[in-house]
């Protein structure tokens, strides 16, 4: 009996392909899979248990992959056995681009059973097989979303060491800014003190002229005026 269908994934071709060939990932996503051991480069030993439906029971088989075209297509052959007798299946899987970051997995195959006296009709077996495939595709989609979310998070987030360095730079910048502000306040205070002294001396100079003590007052006023000039020059030199 023929088994065919398709399923659309929202992921890159490379991610889908890598998961289709990853035994650990397949064991997580194949419904009822108990183990999937790699026997060779393209051969696997499968054991699975179907717990519900008309095909309930334990199944074992050997999976062979042939005619593998990287990230495009492959041919699959399954030989096994279960409650419905000996099972043989073969099929072709192909990945087709259908949109931006959308890949359609197209599968076509044939399932052959040795027991012709099965109580289940071919239609029921086909429906059950397709239901198992849909479960597999949904589980695989969930794993793809997890992998894609992790990759996107790390690729968009800033590395921790860069965050730490940036924080140190910001901290250092704040420290430098604080020092500059304190230096500016201290400088302004000194200028205000000198200016106040000069203002007082000017008043004393005026009084000194009136009382004929001009020589001493002029000297004191000149001294503090020179201090202001030197302070301004030092600040200008520091700023440059």
For 105-123, how does the pLDDT look when each residue is reduced to its tens digit (9 = 90+)? 999 999 888 766 666 677 8
Whether the pTM exceeds 0.85: the reply is: no
Alpha-carbon Rg for the chain, nearest whole angstrom, is 43
Q: Which residue has the higher pLDDT, 211 or 175?
A: 175
Query: Across 101-238, where does the E strand assignment appear?
Result: 102-113
pLDDT surpassing 90 at residue 160: no
Over residues 188-203, the mean pLDDT reads 59
The Cα 102–Cα 221 span in angstroms is 86
pLDDT surpassing 50 at residue 43: yes
- Segment 199-209, tens digit of pLDDT: 555 565 555 54
Q: Mean pLDDT across the chain, nearest whole number?
A: 77
pLDDT at 56: 86
CA 171 to each of CA 122, 161, 167: distance values in angstroms, whole numbers, following the listed order = 73, 15, 6
pLDDT surpassing 60 at residue 170: no
Question: Can you count the helices (H) and strands (E) in the chain?
Answer: 5, 7
pLDDT surpassing 50 at residue 29: yes
The model's confidence at residue 14, banded by pLDDT at 50, 70 and 90, is: very high
pLDDT at 24: 92
The model's confidence at residue 164, banded by pLDDT at 50, 70 and 90, is: very low
Residues 25 and 44 sit within 8 Å (Cβ to Cβ): no
């Amino acid at each position: 009996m023929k088994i065919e269908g398709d399923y659309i994934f929202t992921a890159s071709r490379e991610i889908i392909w890598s998961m289709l060939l990853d035994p650990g990932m397949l064991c997580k996503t194949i419904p009822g899979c108990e183990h999937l051991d790699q026997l060779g480069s393209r051969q696997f030993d499968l054991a699975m248990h179907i717990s519900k439906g008309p095909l309930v029971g334990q199944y074992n088989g050997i999976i062979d992959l042939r005619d593998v075209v990287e990230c495009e297509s492959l041919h699959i052959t399954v030989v096994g056995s279960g409650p419905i007798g000996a099972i043989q299946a073969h099929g072709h899987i192909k990945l087709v681009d259908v949109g931006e970051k959308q890949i359609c997995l197209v599968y076509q195959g044939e399932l052959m059973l040795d027991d012709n006296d099965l109580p289940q009709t071919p239609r029921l077996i086909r429906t059950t097989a397709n239901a198992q495939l849909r479960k597999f595709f949904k589980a695989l989609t969930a794993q793809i979303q997890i992998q894609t979310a992790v990759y996107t998070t790390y690729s968009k987030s800033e590395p921790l060491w860069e965050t730490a360095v940036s924080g140190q730079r910001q901290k250092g910048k704040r420290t430098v800014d604080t020092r500059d502000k304190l230096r500016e306040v201290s400088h302004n205070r000194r200028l205000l003190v000198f200016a106040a002294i000069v203002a007082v001396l000017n008043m004393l100079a005026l009084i000194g002229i009136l009382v004929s003590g001009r020589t001493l007052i002029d000297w004191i006023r000149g001294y503090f005026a020179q201090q202001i000039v030197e302070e301004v020059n030092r600040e200008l030199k520091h700023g440059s």
